[in-house]
Every structure is written in structure tokens, then in C-alpha cells.
């Protein structure tokens, strides 16, 4: 297994900075897994893409918001919040109107994280603090 599947790295650390062929291949691999027949593969791919944090995956993750499995949708919502790409806000709002109360909480958190990202704060910081790791 790849280190991204073990929870290493964050969106802030990797956020698309690597353009090596290996990186591109890994990104493409996880994007392709979003359409795998295996539910577990799909939600693990969404988690990996969220940890990678590359906005290049945003469109594919948006498509995966409509996955038939709620576990996949939950992980996709989380990933979009981590990436922080504004393009995810309208589809997240549409999904919000269709989902359960529990899912709505996750969607609201993702939209808030995207807003914090836009404001220059760390997307994974619920307090909305700006700046580096020592704050």
C-alpha cells in the first residue's frame, strides 16, 4: 500500500506541488478507483485524493458525490473540504438538500472548510487560524 493510504501527508503538504510522472500516475490511479465496482476501493480512493489535496481531482470527486453508497459520498465530501476548491460548493449545496441530517453536518463542514481555504486559513482548522503549523 502507498503511504497516502496510511494517513501520511496532508493536503497542505502535497497540494499538487509534485509534478513527477510517479505522482501523476498515482493521482490517476486513485481517480480511476473512484469508479471501481468495489465500494471499499471507491471510498479509499476518495480518502487518498483528499490527503493528496490536488485540485486536479476536484471534478472527479464532484462526480463521485452522487455515488450510490453513502460511505463513499461521506468520504468524497470530506475530500472536497480538504482540497478547498470553490468549484465544489454548488454541487455540495445540491447534495445538502438531498441528504440525511448527519450527512448535512459533514457537508456543512466541507463547505466551511472551503470557505476557510478561500480566506487563506488552513482548511482542516475548525478555528480558522491563519498560517503555519506552529500556530
List Cα–Cα distances, 95 to 28, 46, 87, 90, in angstroms.
Answer: 25, 17, 14, 9
Tens digit of each residue's pLDDT (9 = 90 or more) over 94-106: 999 999 888 999 9
Examine residue 48 and state whether it is found in any structural domain, yes or no: yes
Examine residue 131 and state whether it is found in any structural domain, yes or no: no
For 10: left if phi > 0, alpha if psi spans -120 to 50, otherwise beta; the answer is beta
> Residue 58 belongs to a domain with what CATH number?
1.25.10.10
pTM to 2 decimal places: 0.77
H helices then E strands: how many in the chain?
A: 7, 0
Q: Which structural domain range is residue 85 located in? A: 19-118
**SS3 of residue 44 by DSSP:** helix
Examine residue 73 and state whether it is found in any structural domain, yes or no: yes
Tens digit of each residue's pLDDT (9 = 90 or more) over 50-94: 999 999 999 999 999 999 999 999 999 999 999 999 999 999 999
Examine residue 6 and state whether it is found in any structural domain, yes or no: no
Amino acid at each position: 500500500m502507498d503511504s497516502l493510504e496510511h494517513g501520511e501527508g496532508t493536503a497542505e503538504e502535497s497540494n499538487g506541488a509534485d509534478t513527477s510522472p510517479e505522482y501523476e500516475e498515482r493521482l490517476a490511479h486513485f481517480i480511476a478507483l473512484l469508479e471501481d465496482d468495489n465500494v471499499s476501493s471507491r471510498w479509499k480512493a476518495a480518502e487518498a485524493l483528499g490527503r493528496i489535496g490536488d485540485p486536479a481531482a476536484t471534478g472527479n470527486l464532484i462526480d463521485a458525490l452522487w455515488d450510490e453508497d453513502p460511505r463513499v459520498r461521506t468520504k468524497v465530501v470530506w475530500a472536497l473540504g480538504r482540497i478547498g476548491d470553490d468549484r465544489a460548493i454548488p454541487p455540495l449545496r445540491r447534495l445538502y438538500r438531498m441528504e440525511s441530517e448527519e450527512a448535512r453536518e459533514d457537508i456543512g463542514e466541507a463547505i466551511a472548510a472551503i470557505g476557510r481555504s478561500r480566506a487563506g486559513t488552513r482548511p482542516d482548522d475548525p478555528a480558522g487560524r491563519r498560517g503555519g503549523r506552529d500556530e
